[in-house]
Amino acid sequence: MLVVEGLFTEYPNDRGEVVKAAQDVSFTVDEGRLFTLLGPSGCGKTTTLRSIAGLERPRAGEISVNGQVVYSSAKKVFVAPNRRGFGMVFQSYAIWPHMTVFENAAFPLDVGRKSYSRKDLRDKVMRVLTAVQLDHLADREATKLSGGQQQRLALARALVMEPALLLLDEPLSNLDAKLREKMRFELKRLQRELKITTVYVTHDQSEALALSHQIAVMNEGRIQQIGTPREIYENPGSQFVADFVGNTNFIEGTVSSGGVRTELGDIRVATNGLAPNDKVAISIRPEDVDLKETRPSGNNVWEGRVEQKVFLGEAVDFQVKVGSRTLLSRQHPTLRTKVGESIFVCLDPEKCVVLKIS
């Protein structure tokens, strides 16, 4: 189990100004779970990961793994990175070009403090190479591997020491889109099979949703929300989270009796905990903006006009103009309404997330 409490990490930039990279960052990762730090560039996610690894010295806070404190400002503890026993994979895989696949994977054992017999070392290395499906390439030169194979070799090298914690910093960012998607499944399979506690850093929201048990969305050095992928996507706690994790429509308005008054008209929606006249934004995902060619019964129905549409194969994205607003809707390809034609927009109150504007 990883516990991070009240972490503050700051460093000077090129102009000598203090960058507040991590501000009061706290979270817990249960044993065997994959926890993702998700956010835009400069939000503090990589600094937080490097602080856990011991590559950055935080200003304050505490970090412990399985009950062992590796950093504490209050207790004046700072365990050196090489003594923490964590596995780490960066964007650059840092594969040794003059070594074979086997030699690359064995390197941490060769230079470690513990010595192994030739048989024990081979057994350990082949076990991790088998886990990442590279055992049949053990004698190949590392430079002759594909990008995906190099990524798996970097993982094997991190896993061979049987680390208490695996730290992954955007390990798929150098792969092309198709290979990246394939490697998501590989990573997920490996992490679940080996039950290794993992902290994963990415700016790719689809990657975070696909891989994680839990996600922490970060912005400007602070955690904005922690939750399961479904919680983060379906119940964002702020406009930033709703906007960063997937596409969404924002409809701004003020709370009224029975709903929210907007430029489209009154939208019937639950406004629990909000006071009349509070300024809010309704977030609704494109797949939850329903379109009908004939007017349906019920509330939250408006007539609009198709402005544009984009065929995506498994879906069609529609841009529909309702009054002065344009809403994005994702529909099944069987909906064939043409550009310029009239269509009805329907919003399900249960799919609308009302967010207070501070």
Whole-number Å distance between alpha carbons of 307 and 222: 39
Query: Locate tokens 């092309």: which residue?
Result: 176
Angle between helices 147-159 and 177-194 (to 10 degrees): 20
pTM greater than 0.85: yes
Higher-confidence residue: 111 or 190? 190
pLDDT digits (tens, 9 = 90+) for 279-305: 999 999 999 999 999 999 988 999 999
Percentage of the residues of the chain whose pLDDT score is greater than 90: 65
Superfamily of domain 2-241: P-loop containing nucleotide triphosphate hydrolases (3.40.50.300)
Within this chain, domains 2-241 and 247-356 share the same CATH topology? no
Tell me: the pLDDT tens digits for 68-117? 999 999 999 999 998 898 988 887 767 888 889 999 999 888 877 778 88
Residue 19 pLDDT more than 90?
A: no
CATH code given to domain 247-356: 2.40.50.140
Q: Domain spans of the chain? A: 2-241, 247-356
Q: Average pLDDT, stretch 50-71?
A: 95
Query: What Å distances lie between residue 355 and 163, 250, 284, CA to CA?
Result: 41, 10, 11
Q: What is the mean pLDDT of residues 26-39?
A: 96
